[in-house]
Amino acid sequence: MAILDILNYPDPRLYTVAKPVKEVDASIRRLVEDMAQTMYAAPGIGLAATQVNVHLQVIVIDISEDKNGLQVFINPKLVNKCGSQDYEEGCLSVPGVYETVTRAETVTVEALDINGKPFTLEAEGLLAVCIQHEMDHLQGKVFVDYLSQLKQTRIKTRMKKRQREFA
Q: Confirm whether 165 is a catalytic residue.
A: no
Decide if residue 49 touches ligand GNR (CB under 6 A).
Answer: no
Shortest Cβ 91–Ni ion spacing (Å): 3
Shortest Cβ 89–ligand GNR spacing (Å): 4
One residue of 24, 32, 60, 92 binding ligand GNR per CB under 6 A:
92
DSSP state of 136: H
- Applying CB under 6 A, the span of 45-53, 77-85, 146-154, 157-165 interacting with ligand GNR comes to 45-53
Choice among 33, 89, 134, 165 that is catalytic: 134
Peptide bond into 10 cis (omega under 30): yes
**Half-sphere exposure at residue 127, Cβ-oriented, CA atoms within 13 angstroms:** 17
Based on its alpha-carbon atoms, the radius of gyration of the chain, rounded to whole angstroms, reads: 15
Shortest Cβ 7–ligand GNR spacing (Å): 11
For ligand GNR, the binding residues in 108-167 under the rule CB under 6 A are 129-130, 133-134, 137
Cα 103 to Cα 141: distance, rounded to the nearest angstrom = 14
- What residue 76 binds from Ni ion, ligand GNR, none (CB within 5 to 8 A, per partner kind)? none
Give all strands (DSSP E) within 53-160, no chain letters.
58-61, 71-82, 85-89, 99-103, 106-112, 118-124
Phi-psi region of 19 (alpha: psi -120 to 50; beta: other; left: phi over 0): beta
- On whether the CB atoms of residues 148 and 136 are closer than 8 A, the answer is no
Nearer to ligand GNR, 23 or 146 (CB): 146
Site residues (vs ligand GNR, CB under 6 A): 44-48, 51, 87, 89-93, 129-130, 133-134, 137
